[in-house]
Amino acid sequence: MNSYHLLCSPIEKSVQLLFTECERNVFIASPFINAYGIDMLTDVLAERTVGITVEVLTCITPKSLQEGSLDPTALVRLCQAQPSTKVLSLPRLHAKVYIVDGRKAIITSANFTRGGLLQNYEYGIALSDQSLVEGISDDMRAYAGLGSTFTLEALGRLADETRELRTLRKNAERSQRQTDIGKRLRQQENAIRDTLLHSRVRERPITAIFMDTIRYLLGAGPMTTEALHARIKDIHADICDDTIDRVINGQRFGKLWKHHVRNAQQSLKKRGEITLMNGRWQFTGK
């Protein structure tokens, strides 16, 4: 029996079948998620008599919320239907991966949306080789380790703020008072950004986030501090703000986020997890 098979559009039935085979855990990585995918998942899990844990890794950004490619209301419904659900957000996530129990997986181009599952021309591969799927699971959990957990409360707040923003946008299209509407739109956009940033650092301080990221990056090989800065900023663009300096007694001492990266490097060095050799940081494996 083949340990894999190829998937052509529509892949909805294949993903649905994968979920029906779940006994313990469902893992979903998809930057775009809407009610269509969530409803399909909750319908399948509603038939289970035993609890299933659900982990969702997505990419929650002001743009995805405004454009509707990421629906926080659907994520709220999932958390309410499956209380053990964990929602994480990783900036720049692009992978679309569906895993059950660490035994079977689908890797595809299809987002967890109506378009991805049913309408678009997508492609993918379903895998059942145990060692291969375990490797995929490990990689996805490494990605998840770089992300931030969003509580049900935070998701609910984002859902409310997003609805208000969309209402303002509709009113702006019909209103002649563009100045007042524009100001309210900017205020609402800032409220969403504040909620996202608050959730990013709610459970872990920023230095801890950077420590996990450095571990991840150095796992692939030695890097200079400059190279680490570039990659960390790529991964965490939302918390690497070049407009904010570290200021002591009125004097500026470089970018604040780089100061946090240095603290992370020094903490890892003191623990013996990384070392600096010939100008490059190396992961010691401890």
Q: Average pLDDT in the 93-115 region?
A: 95
Cα dihedral: 219, 222, 228, 232 (round 10): -10
- Give burial (CB, 10 Å; 0-12/13-18/19+) of 190: exposed
Nearest to 106 by CA among 92, 122, 120, 83: 122
Give me the pLDDT at residue 85, please.
93
**Contact at 8 Å (CB) between 195 and 154?**
yes
Q: What is each CA distance from 162 to 81, 112, 114, 190, 202, in whole angstroms?
A: 21, 20, 20, 11, 20
Other Cβ atoms closer than 10 A to 216: 17
Task: Reply yes or no on whether the pLDDT at 119 is more than 80.
Answer: yes
- What is the distance between the alpha carbons of residues 174 and 99, in angstroms, rounded to a whole number? 45
Q: What are phi and psi of 256, to 5 degrees?
A: -60, -40
Rounded CA separation 233/229 (Å): 6
| 186 vs 232: CA distance, rounded Å | 28
According to the model, what pLDDT value does residue 149 have?
87
Higher pLDDT, 107 or 250: 107
pLDDT at 224: 93
Using the predicted structure, report yes or no on whether residue 87 has a pLDDT greater than 90. Answer: yes
170 has a pLDDT exceeding 80: no
Q: How confident is the model at residue 249 (pLDDT cuts 50, 70, 90)?
A: very low
pLDDT at 134: 93
Continuous segment of H or E residues that includes residue 97: strand 97-100
State mean pLDDT over 36-53.
86
The confidence band for 104, taking pLDDT boundaries of 50, 70 and 90, is very high
pLDDT > 60? residue 236: yes
Backbone dihedral angles phi then psi of residue 122, each to the nearest 5 degrees: -110, 175
